[in-house]
Structure 1
Amino acid sequence: MKKMFNRSLAMSLVALGLFGCAGEEDTIVMAPLPVVESQFTPATEWTASIGDGVGHYFSKLSPVYAYGKVFVASRDGEVKALDPETGKTLWEVDLEGDQPARLSGGLTASYDKLYIGDENGQAFALSVDDGSVVWKKDIDGEVLAKPLADESLVMFHTSKGTLVALKEDSGEPFWEINNDVPNLTLRGDSSPVSISGGVFWGMANGRLAAALIQRGQLLWQQPIGTPKGSTEIDRLVDVDASPLIIGSNLYAVGVNGQLVAIDLRSGAPMWKRTYSSATDLASDGSRIFVVTDKDHIAAVDVRSGTPLWTNDSLEYRQLTAPVLINQYLVVADGEGYLHWIDRATGKFVAQQLIDEDGIAVPPVETDDGFVIITREGDIKKMQIPEGS
């Protein structure tokens, strides 16, 4: 039977080499909040809420800004569309049926629909206009990652190692690709990405896969990490981070693995650097930014993989994936702070307490600001001061 291991604890144990003894979790110490002289303080334009949020559960329920709306969801099945200028609720639906919804995989907006999956193995398509359910389908395994919509298909990556493609308009199955899953994995899955008719995703067995979207034909697999060590925790090699495509190259990172640059046409690696992470990457075109399993933030050159800088001041603060907002690199942490970083130097430029409930997913940029959601479902639309 496959065992899913808690991400935050597992990543800390992997980093410290600890597993199996009582009390060892207590040796993992969150770094104190760094003292930052903020150059600016983003102002709050409006606030809203979405159910009880995600609580303490693992979740990738990031807000989505599309079709002139901000879409948000809570783990218990509530989904809303908000006006990005006022925060007013435009529509809301509750997807909880005979059993708790346990939403976790999503959101993706495309083809005038909002796609989302849950831990019960269900996939939903909602109308972006009014939230009505266009279709609902059972699929094999929990959906813990954001689906991909492309070439009139929507693709869900499940916890059973299956990538399943459904027709975007009806939800009818089109193809599926199955892969073996190790006995022990981190809780979470890689969100697929696509370009030029190909789909790419990371797998729990430490490999990156490529397939043709219209055929569901597997093209190649490239190892990102190789299982090593004598215990299951030592041998974790999940590739849970979503691959990153820049031009004709793809970049991927895995747990106990490497940050790898891959030529999309051949699937051959161009360079490799030793970084261990289960968190999505970010890039400004010339640099790649990675948050490691120790919550160190690093920048490497996109062409050569040469390390440019590392910031370890937020060690074990349960960081979100990094994102770019305006000219800055931004991460949020488990204590509810937002950290703004100079992407050229790695130095802090601003810091702000958003909410002591903590933040599980990174902020999402809109046309004139950004939206951030706390673990308890509080939503804030914020504006970056002029001149920042």
Structure 2
Amino acid sequence: MSLHPAPIAAPLHRRTLLAGLAAAGGSAVLAGCSSDAPKPAALEAYTPKLPVRELWRARVSALPHPLQPLLRGDQFICAGDDGRVVAWQTASGAEQWRAEFGAPLSAAVGHDGRFTAAVTRDNELRVLDRGRLAWKAALKSAVATAPLVAGERVFVLGVDREVLAFDALDGRRLWSYQRSGGELLTLSQRAVLMPWRDTLLVGQGANLVGLDPTRGSTRFELPLTPPRGTNEVERLNDLVGPALRLDDSLCVRAFQSAIGCFDVARIRLRWSRLAAGVQALGGDAVLLSGADAAGRVSAWKTETGEIAWTNERLTYRGLGAPLVLPQAVLYGDAQGQLHFLSRDDGQTLQRLATDGSAVAVAPLRAADGTVLVSTARGLLLALSVG
């Protein structure tokens, strides 16, 4: 079948979950238990060198935990904390459609043009068929990763790293998968769940696993980095979603341990290197970028992993996952500032304030060039860059 979409205390259950650890932002992870938290770096003076203008703005309900908007074709699809989902045309901001899940959501939505899937905070998978509730299913685990809707199936990855497959039409459970000898500690944050040709790619610890979407059987398993440390917390190295697909390569971060790129077509690891960080990478065929938990920004050459430049002028500002644009590298921070950095050397080209709340998830860029930024207060800001 094709998977291309049509058109440190934490609670215990089966595994120990570090709830919301990375979602809080890098600086919060370091400073959350201390009254002597480092102060965010002051904003430096700069000379604007990149034109950026607002195209349109919209709002959803506040997002106390990050719900990554979805880009599908020429639509930005975003769910608010109240369970309402709205799709906007990327260039104009015209509303295309809206739907209602009827409950607060724990993760962003999946959508294939017909079916829209989401998981509520009560661990219930709900699937809409053209905007109307088609079926729902109780889940035993919390979910922080958006369901994947593809090939008339709905795939769900729990924070316990169990993968479930359901028939999109009637909700029948088709199969489940959980890697044997799994980790005792997992992250309650977005993980890797995505299609690649006729294979389902999922993160299991620091391993990229390829599954047969029809049966749930394992096709391959590729480690990004081996566990390190002397205890389970130090050895925690889950793959952080979303992974970045670049043709036949897949580039991804392992939590606080490494970054690297897989050659999925040849089923091999192209390269990996030690690099701390809790947020996903951004990048293109030439340049990757990511920040560590202290807000030190790095850029690497996509082909080799060689360091291209670093920027230490945004430390402790709670940087989110970046978007690498043709003109710049875009980071949002916990104060709602957007930082446009030079692809060549990391220098500030432009800065833009939003609504003062955190830009906690990666901005998106549509095929028409429209860039969408979302904030914790529910502001959606569409920009033209360059």
CA drift of 1:13 comes to 8.5
Preserved contact between residue 320 and residue 361 of structure 2 (Cα < 8 Å): yes
8 Å CA contact 1:241–1:278 kept in 2: the answer is no
Other structure's SS at 1:103 match: coil
Q: Is residue 203 of structure 2 the alignment partner of residue 193 of structure 1?
A: no
Residue equivalent to 1:66: 72
Alpha-carbon shift at residue 359 of structure 1 (Å): 1.7
2:112 to 106, 110, 115: 110
Does the Cα contact within 8 Å between 2:236 and 2:255 map onto a contact in 1?
yes
Contact in 1 for aligned 2:255/2:277 (Cα 8 Å): yes
| Residues 48-87 of structure 1 mapped to structure 2, 5 A cutoff | 48-51=58-61, 53-55=62-64, 57=65, 59=66, 61-66=67-72, 68-84=74-90, 87=93
Q: Give the match for residue 18 of structure 2.
A: 4
Alignment partner of 2:239: what SS? coil
Task: Identify the range of structure 1 (361-370 vs 331-340) with the bigger mean alpha-carbon deviation.
Answer: 361-370
Q: Is the deviation greater in 302-311 or in 24-33? A: 24-33
What amino acid sits opposite 1:241 in the alignment?
G
Contact 2:116 2:149 in 1 (8 A): no
1:350, CA displacement in angstroms? 0.6
Query: TM-score, normalised to structure 1's length?
Result: 0.83
Counterpart of 2:170 in structure 1 is 170
Give the CA RMSD over aligned residues: 2.9
Report the 3-state secondary structure (helix = DSSP H, G, I; strand = E; otherwise coil) of the residue aligned with 2:234: coil
Q: Distance in 2 between matches of 1:245 and 1:80?
A: 26
TM superposition shift of 1:181:
5.1
Rate the CA distance shift 1:307–1:150 in 2: closer, same or farther, 3 A. same
Q: Could you say which structure has the greater relative contact order, defined with CA pairs below 8 angstroms and 6 or more residues apart?
A: 2
Q: 1:70 to 1:3 in 2, by over 3 A?
A: closer
Does structure 1 retain, via aligned residues, the 8 Å contact 2:190–2:240? yes
Q: 1:29 to 1:142 in 2, by over 3 A?
A: same
User: Counterparts of 1:96-245 in structure 2 under 5 Å?
Assistant: 96=102, 101-127=103-129, 131-179=131-179, 182-203=183-204, 205-245=205-245
Distance 2:354 2:71 in 1: 20
CA distance, structure 2, for counterparts of residue 35 and residue 181 of structure 1: 48
Write out per-residue CA displacement over residues 167-214 of structure 1, whole angstroms, 9 at most, x where no aligned residue.
Answer: 2333322222113654443321313122221222222x3322222222
| C-alpha distance in structure 2 between counterparts of 1:151 and 1:344, whole Å | 40
Q: How far 1:75 sits from its partner (Å)?
A: 1.7
- Cα distance in 2, alignment partners of residues 70 and 93 from structure 1: 14
Q: Report if the CA contact (8 A) 2:143-2:188 is conserved.
A: no
Partner of 1:242, secondary structure, is: strand
- Check the 8 A contact 1:78/1:94 in 2, yes or no: yes
Deviations 1:254-306 (A, max 9, x none): 12322223332554323221112332222221222223333322222222211
Quote the residue 2:4 is aligned against: none
Unaligned runs of 5+ in 1: none
Instruction: Call closer, same or farther: CA 1:170–1:343 in 2, change over 3 Å.
Output: farther
SS of the aligned residue for 1:31 comes to coil
1:162 CA displacement: 0.9
Q: Determine the C-alpha separation between the residues in 2 that align with 1:90 and 1:262.
A: 36
Query: 1:37 is aligned with what amino acid?
Result: T
Q: Which amino acid aligns with 1:310?
A: T
Q: 1:304 to 1:35 in 2, by over 3 A?
A: same
Determine if contact 1:206/1:239 at 8 Å carries over to the other structure: yes
Deviations 1:112-139 (A, max 9, x none): 23332233222233345xx322333333
Q: 1:341-383 CA deviation, whole Å, 9 max, x = no partner?
A: 2223222211000111222223223435233222111223333
Contact (CA 8 Å) 1:190, 1:240: kept in 2 or not?
yes
Residue pair 1:192, 1:199 contacting (<8 A) in 2 also: yes
Distance (whole Å) between structure 1 residues aligned to residue 33 and residue 322 of structure 2? 31
- Tell me, in whole angstroms, the C-alpha distance in 2 between the residues paired with 1:265 and 1:43: 39
Aligned partners of 2:165 and 2:173 also within 8 Å: yes
Q: Does 1:380 align with 2:378?
A: no
Counterpart CA distance in 2 for 1:360 and 1:312 is: 19
**Contact 2:246/2:284 (<8 A) preserved:** no
